[in-house]
Structure 1
Amino acid sequence: MSQNFTPPAPDSYTAAPAPAPARSGNIGLAIPGAAVTALAAGAAYGGIMSAINFQIGYLAAGVGFLVALVAVRLGGRNPILPVLSAALTLGGVYAGYVLAEAIAMSEQWPLTVTELLTSEIAEVHQSYLDTFDPISILFYGIGAYAAFQTARKAAN
């Protein structure tokens, strides 16, 4: 049984679909969006730390995750976003520590948290440095690592 097979003419092949376009983002929008997210997530981190009087690494990682998520959603596949996310997360975690310190100081001083964070911010920062716990370095690292990895993987 011999069959004669003739291949179809070159014009009769169906073209492969075009690849999906790369997500293009707006880095100009990603930077302030991620910065605001870092401050908001850092404030939540500081509030939770103050409420439970304990540091939790998962919360620092959560700050990093949220910052990176916003950065990638707004900035697309820009290769600077993992580094930017990690840096902004460091600022967010620091803001959380300063807020927690201000809340603790407001319980001992006749000033509100808002007054401490505005007119007495130098005192709050110095108090944070005076009570700095070396384990905090680990939490800064956890947050920055989570942000970097989340942004790196989400951009792919």
Structure 2
Amino acid sequence: MSQSAPSPAQPSAEQPAEPQPQPVDATPSSAPQSADAAPYVPQPGAVPPPSATGLPYVAAPAPARNNLGLGLVAAFVAAVVAAGVYGAIIGLTKHEIGWAAVGVGFLVGLAAGRLGGRNPVLPVASAVLSLGSVYIGQLVGEAMIGAKETTLSFSELFFQHFDVLQQAWKADADPLTFVFFAIAAYVAFTGARKAAL
């Protein structure tokens, strides 16, 4: 039996179909293409891929902030809040606690450094504000303790008899009291320097 040859117009199942030609984009690309580059144009603000040299891509550091006013306001607000918290701890426990003084200094220094930046005034201002914060906190604690032991309220003691509170603080002050001042000031000074952006 003889086989007939398939006609050229009809491809047989045994013959593969010829590939169809694809249209070529004749538009020139504005971005240079390399062998390992992406086949698309990068969007504005996109992070470029690592270079072909094998060196990692390193982003440029953010510009250092230097806002003295904002740093001082932040440190002052943090000092007021920390004084209240520190005083409440003293008033509730009837003891000065060292880690609370560290917390006061840390909070004041962190606020100043993060929001104020690398201004050299901020660490010094943070140390001074933390000293004031510890002092006011100790007076708040004295007022809370005095309010429990007398018929006067906290606000009467703190706002109307502030001189009595200061005399009570002087009578209760010991060397450890001044150690807490030093701790808070040191932590605030170093914290503001380390937290500066």
Which position in structure 2 is the counterpart of 1:77? Answer: 118
Give runs of aligned pairs for residues 79-118 of structure 1, distance below 5 A: 79-118=120-159
Consecutive unaligned residues of structure 2, counting only runs of 5 or more, are 1-56
What amino acid maps onto 2:111 in structure 1?
V
CA distance in 2 between partners of 1:24 and 1:58 (Å): 30
TM-score (norm 1): 0.83
Taking only the aligned residue pairs, the percentage that are identical comes to 42
The answer as to 2:103 corresponding to 1:67 is: no
CA distance in 2 between partners of 1:143 and 1:75 (Å): 19
What amino acid maps onto 1:85 in structure 2?
S
The one of the two structures with greater contact order (alpha-carbon pairs below 8 A, sep at least 6) is: 1
CA contact (8 A) 2:101 2:180 kept: yes
The answer as to 2:175 corresponding to 1:137 is: no
CA distance in 2 between partners of 1:155 and 1:73 (Å): 5
Higher helix share goes to which structure? Answer: 1
Which of these residues, 21, 36, 51, is aligned with residue 92 of structure 2?
A: 51
CA contact (8 A) 1:24 1:75 kept: yes
Aligned residue for 1:22, secondary structure, equals coil
* Segment of structure 1 superposing worse, 99-108 or 19-28: 19-28
Q: Note the alpha carbon deviations across 1:124-154, whole angstroms, 9 max, x for none.
A: 1111112212210111111111111111222
Aligned residue for 1:33, secondary structure, equals helix
The runs of 4+ residues in structure 1 deviating greater than 4 Å are: none
CA distance in 2 between partners of 1:133 and 1:18 (Å): 52
CA contact (8 A) 1:25 1:73 kept: no
RMSD: 1.9
CA distance in 1 between partners of 2:59 and 2:98 (Å): 43
Instruction: Select the structure of larger CA radius of gyration.
Output: 2
CA contact (8 A) 2:113 2:196 kept: yes
What amino acid maps onto 1:31 in structure 2?
L
TM-score (norm 2): 0.66
